[in-house]
Structure 1
Amino acid sequence: MIYDHRTYCCRPGTIKKHLALYAEYGFPAQKRILGAPVIYAQVETGDVNSFVHIWAYEDAADRAARRAEMAADPDWQAYLKKSAEAGYLISQTNEILMPVDLEG
């Protein structure tokens, strides 16, 4: 299992607008292809203009296949266009996390 940890930062004052846009247009397509996220959360301290989501995959090949499917999905493409036009996002950071076996 691997985890794709993503942090997005919005322009100040736009995070609620972005999350509403994503909930209506992005999340349905993403959830259909990637499944439910492990977590989808808004940051409460630190950079409060940020939100984080984590997606689980069997391995790198599973991640690549599902992300390629999502990239080709017309509903996802429509969301990306709407998101770009809105201009709420200013940065994105992705990290692949590998679980550590502390007992083995």
Structure 2
Amino acid sequence: MIVEERDYRLVPGRLHEFISTYEKYGLDIQRRHLGGFLGYFITEIGELNHVVAWWSYESLADREARRTRMLADTEWNGYLGRVAGLIDIQSTRILKPVCFSPLPVRGRPTEMPS
């Protein structure tokens, strides 16, 4: 299992517009294509105007296949048009849970024995 962390720094003053647009037009499309939705977060302390999304995948190949299908979806491209101009900078990281992470890792039970 891997976790993709996508961090969007938004244009100041546009955070709530971005979130409401995503909730209304983007989230269901991503859930349909990407599957493993782990969370969506905003910053409260530190560098503001950030949205962070976490998605889980079985592997990099799984991620690539799912994202390729989503990028070919006309509904997704329509959503991207709605948020054009709201994102200042985007970064993506791939995270791999370690053996004691509470997230389920393939081949290991979710609960660690005590």
TM-score (normalised: structure 2): 0.83
Aligned to 1:33: 33
Aligned to 1:90: 88
In 2, distance between residues paired with 1:28 and 1:73?
Answer: 12
Which runs of no fewer than 5 residues in structure 2 stay unpaired? 101-111
Residue-pair matches, total: 101
1:41-88 Cα distance to aligned partner (Å, 9 max, x none): 11111122001011000001110100001000111010011211xx11
- Deviation of 1:92 (Å): 0.5
Aligned to 2:48: 48
In 2, distance between residues paired with 1:47 and 1:70?
Answer: 30
Sequence identity percentage: 40
Q: Alignment partner of 1:5: what SS?
A: strand
Aligned to 1:18: 18
8 Å CA contact 2:36, 2:57 repeated in 1: no
Determine which structure has greater relative contact order: mean sequence separation of CA pairs < 8 Å that are 6+ residues apart, divided by chain length: 1
The residue type paired with residue 96 of structure 1 is I
Deviates more, 1:30-39 or 1:70-79: 30-39
> Which segments of structure 1 move beyond 4 Å, counting only runs of 4 or more?
none
More helix by share: 1
TM-score (normalised: structure 1): 0.90
- Deviation of 1:30 (Å): 0.7
Larger Rg: 2
- Deviation of 1:17 (Å): 0.5
In 1, distance between residues paired with 2:87 and 2:93?
Answer: 18
- Deviation of 1:36 (Å): 4.8
